[in-house]
Chains A and B, each alone.
Chain A
Amino acid sequence: MAEGAANGELTIGFLPLVDACLPILAREHGFAEAEGLSLRLVRDMSWATVLDRLLYGHSDGAHMVAPLAIATTLGRGRPAQPLSVPFVLGLNGNAVTMRPELARAVNPAGGLGDPAKVGAALKAYISGTGRPLRFGVVHRYSSHNYMLRYWLAACGIRPDVDVEITTVAPPFCADALEFGEVDAICVGEPWNSVAVERAAGEIVMVTAQIWRRGVEKVLAFRESVLDARRPQAEALVRALRKAGEHFVDPANLETNAAILACAEYLDGDATLIRRAISDRLLLRQGGDLLHYPDFMFQHREAANFPWVSQAEWLYSQMVRWDGLPFDPADARKAARVFRPDVYRSALLGTGEPLPGASSKVEGSLAGPTSVSMQQGRMILERNTFFDGKAFDPELLESYITGQHQA
């Protein structure tokens, strides 16, 4: 069992997705070893299994869709078990891929569509054809689900009423498009590209267009394990920062794509993986490779800092789509899942930038803005939601009330 392991050993669960890159590279390039850690990585095929292993001690930590860490803490669908997130593994990196005929109907100009325009065309398409469309997301408690629903709702399309949203495991997304089980998917890479490769779909948008700096996967521990193994968890935070630095250096692209493609990790096509991790996407068969900067966002601007406001935004969406009332006690528990205190204590005294605040107004930056820092210097670039709304965590309750009316 993982908990009984010697001090420096940590077992981390993951799914075969490109944003599992940091733990994989921390192990492969010796960043973990340099911090006195021996990392063991366990791959699974569903988030349910990753979560079971984490809760029952088969793993110490896990690569996890951020909302699932909050849902588990709040006891959604199973007894509550508090999880803690000391590190965000990355922002965005997902795309919306549609069956070719639908893609061409709602995004006739090709290229990456403007979210508001594609939304309007989709709304017209749905009322025009009267055919109920079905969207696949990778998990009920995933950022994919929340980003997709945020976009649809802001475009006047009611999720669960005007469209159906169902769960499809990432490795089967291309199949589901091909066999007409779904009309569109919102999934991480390389699974959009696999669908394009098989001519089963065309990429219409990326989630970074919906929320420019949207929180995606996190490193989750059980709260009790984080407490008991705090020095190892902090060592892992440092190793993951180093892995991130290596990951974003273009000189390392080939090497890192080859490592991620290995049978024991993603077991995938190194060419597709190389594209995704260099922010490049082939949107449709026969098209040109598109470079969309910050499609995946793994390192700059302290991307791994677990902002409490990110957890609170996710809570606002959970309340919205699970049809729950706002509950101040739940809101506090959800906020507490993200642990900037652990991130800070791990990196204090290193060269890493540490923000002065633990929360920020999400989606409010129209352009580069310098922020007050505890350590180092940092400029945050543009960070907006596509509909121009911002999320102020101080006004959580009124934000939630407002979105129910939308």
Chain B
Amino acid sequence: MRIAIVDESASRAAVIREGLAAVDGCEIFVVTERRGLVARIGEIAPDIVLMDLGNPSRDVLEEYFAVSRVLGRPIAMFVDESDEEAIAASVDAGVSSYVVDGLAPHRIRPILDLAVRRFNAFSRLQSDLAEAKGKLAERDLVDKAKRILMDNRGFTEPQAYAQLRKTAMNQGKRIADIAEAVVTAHQLLGGT
């Protein structure tokens, strides 16, 4: 079975490819370039196309599939109506899938399920990454606030941190929020 993964995010495509590599009897092709997409899909002649839901080339590819029906190689959106739930899950995960007509549902389902799991895993990775970046930024902020308190109030570093922490607890806020307030106030009052 020939599977084309179309995704402008090369890293997400790699994550999905890796997942599908475990499926027996699959040949996997990854397309990340928008230019020449239709010609490339034509060459690959896939049985299944997996594409990220928001891909800007979807209308172009769907048009090609509609035309290819005339050419005797029908490809449709994964439309077995008994599988509404599976489609809903894939749309939620952000995958759209197109399947050659006549491919048995029991062959499609495992691949689609895998793709959905991989897409979800990728989203989790991304949000973890965003969170990690946020934490780094927060630490920067706390360091700046400590420096301001040390320079202006003559605190040692542990004293400056204790002061931030105490204020946060008294006000029911996070230390990063207090640090941000200190930095902002300092800038407003002419500090650098």
Whether A associates with B in a native complex is yes
Residues on A lying within 8 angstroms of B by beta carbon are 44-49, 52-53, 56-58, 77-79, 138-140, 166-169, 171-172, 179
CA distance A398 to B46 in the complex (A): 42
Question: Chain B 33-77 against A: per-residue CB contact (8 Å), 1 yes, 0 no?
Answer: 011000000000000000001111111101110100000000011
* A139 pairs with B59, CB closer than 8 A: yes
Our pick among A48, A57, A58, A78 for the contact of B58 (Cβ within 8 Å) is: A48
CA distance A166 to B66 in the complex (A): 11
User: B87 on the interface (CB 8 Å rule)?
Assistant: yes
* B59 pairs with A52, CB closer than 8 A: no
Find the B residue at minimum CB distance from A52.
B91
Q: Can you list 11 A-B pairs with a CB-CB distance of less than 8 A?
A: A46-B56, A49-B58, A49-B96, A52-B53, A57-B88, A58-B91, A78-B79, A79-B79, A140-B66, A167-B59, A172-B56
Q: What A residues does B87 contact at CB under 8 A?
A: 56
* A167 pairs with B63, CB closer than 8 A: yes
Shortest CB–CB separation between residue B110 and chain A, in angstroms? Answer: 21
Shortest CB–CB separation between residue A160 and chain B, in angstroms? Answer: 10
User: B81 on the interface (CB 8 Å rule)?
Assistant: yes
* B59 pairs with A78, CB closer than 8 A: no
Find the B residue at minimum CB distance from A181.
B35
CA distance A49 to B53 in the complex (A): 6
* B76 pairs with A78, CB closer than 8 A: yes
Our pick among A79, A140, A171, A172 for the contact of B63 (Cβ within 8 Å) is: A140
Q: Is the interface of A mostly helix, strand, loop or mixed?
A: loop
Find the B residue at minimum CB distance from A44.
B54
CA distance A45 to B58 in the complex (A): 9
Q: What A residues does B62 contact at CB under 8 A?
A: 48, 77, 140, 167
CA distance A56 to B96 in the complex (A): 12
Question: Chain B 126-138 against A: per-residue CB contact (8 Å), 1 yes, 0 no?
Answer: 0000000000000
Find residues 136-185 in chain B having any chain A CB closer than 8 Å to their own CB. none
CA distance A49 to B58 in the complex (A): 8
Tell me how many residue pairs across A and B have CB atoms closer than 8 Å: 63
Find residues 84-109 in chain B having any chain A CB closer than 8 Å to their own CB. 87-88, 91-92, 96
Q: What A residues does B53 contact at CB under 8 A?
A: 49, 52
* B56 pairs with A171, CB closer than 8 A: yes
Q: What A residues does B60 contact at CB under 8 A?
A: 166-169
In this complex, which of B63, B79, B87, B92 has the most chain A Cβ atoms within 10 angstroms of its Cβ?
B63
Number of residues in B with C-beta < 8 Å to the partner? 23
CA distance A172 to B61 in the complex (A): 14
* B56 pairs with A45, CB closer than 8 A: yes
CA distance A151 to B141 in the complex (A): 62
* B56 pairs with A77, CB closer than 8 A: no
Shortest CB–CB separation between residue A158 and chain B, in angstroms? Answer: 16
Q: What A residues does B77 contact at CB under 8 A?
A: 77-78
Shortest CB–CB separation between residue B74 and chain A, in angstroms? Answer: 11
Our pick among A47, A48, A138, A171 for the contact of B96 (Cβ within 8 Å) is: A48
Shortest CB–CB separation between residue B177 and chain A, in angstroms? Answer: 26
Shortest CB–CB separation between residue B41 and chain A, in angstroms? Answer: 14
CA distance A356 to B58 in the complex (A): 41
Q: What A residues does B81 contact at CB under 8 A?
A: 79
Our pick among B34, B54, B66 for the contact of A49 (Cβ within 8 Å) is: B54
* B56 pairs with A169, CB closer than 8 A: yes
In this complex, which of B62, B77, B91 has the most chain A Cβ atoms within 10 angstroms of its Cβ?
B62
Q: What A residues does B64 contact at CB under 8 A?
A: 167
* B79 pairs with A46, CB closer than 8 A: no
In this complex, which of B34, B35, B58, B66 has the most chain A Cβ atoms within 10 angstroms of its Cβ?
B58
Q: Known: A77-B76, A77-B77, A78-B77. Is A47-B59 also a contact (CB below 8 A)?
A: yes
Find the A residue at minimum CB distance from B35.
A179
Shortest CB–CB separation between residue B178 and chain A, in angstroms? Answer: 30
CA distance A114 to B58 in the complex (A): 34
Q: Can you name 4 extra interface pairs (CB under 8 A) apart from A77-B66, A140-B63?
A: A46-B56, A77-B76, A78-B76, A166-B63
Our pick among A53, A58, A169 for the contact of B59 (Cβ within 8 Å) is: A169
Those 9 A-B pairs whose CB atoms lie nearest each other, nearest first: A45-B56, A167-B63, A48-B58, A46-B58, A56-B91, A46-B59, A167-B60, A140-B63, A56-B88
Q: Known: A52-B96, A56-B88, A77-B66. Is A169-B57 also a contact (CB below 8 A)?
A: yes
CA distance A317 to B79 in the complex (A): 25
CA distance A45 to B54 in the complex (A): 7
